[in-house]
Homo-oligomer: A and B are copies of this chain.
Amino acid sequence: MNEKNLSSISDSEWEVMRIVWTLGETHTKQILKELRAKKDWSDSTIKTLIRRLVQKGWLTAKHEGRRYTYTATVSQTDMMYNEAKTLLNRMCDMHKGEVILKLLKDSPISKGDLMKMQEEISQKEKTAPNMVPCNCLKNGSTIC
């Protein structure tokens, strides 16, 4: 049941999700408040985004009186990971390492995560190839 046929999430929608993830179960008022502080969007815009997120199945709307209470249907890390994966999927295998390295450099990372990475890398090193071939062409060049 985790594989609903969800469409992807857009930039602005993502911004709304962040609020919901952080606040947990919440309602329009709160979302409006938080987004007013972060973004220069009209309330109308924000309401549209919420509506679309519900339509798309990323938010659940529980009717309470005339209001709604919203909850995210996916965890933030799942969503983050999926988006990241989708992105890497369009990219050439050969250069993924380089890109991940750059992300690593540019992102703030906790000691704990760094240690896990350390470990993962040690594991991978055992069987890592000297070079990952390019997969940009159906058949042909292994270098790009």
Contacts and interface: CB of A to CB of B under 8 A. Distances in A.
A128 to B, nearest CB: 4
Interface residues of A, number: 66
Q: At the interface, is chain A mostly helix, strand, loop or mixed?
A: helix
Q: Which of A37, A38, A103 has the most CB of B within 10 A?
A: A103
B95 A80 contact: yes
Tallying the copies of this chain within the complex gives 2
A130 B108 CA distance: 11
Contacts of A116: 101
Q: Which of A99, A118, A132 has the most CB of B within 10 A?
A: A99
A82 to B, nearest CB: 10
Return the 3 tightest CB-CB contacts between A and B, nearest first. A97-B113, A22-B144, A37-B138
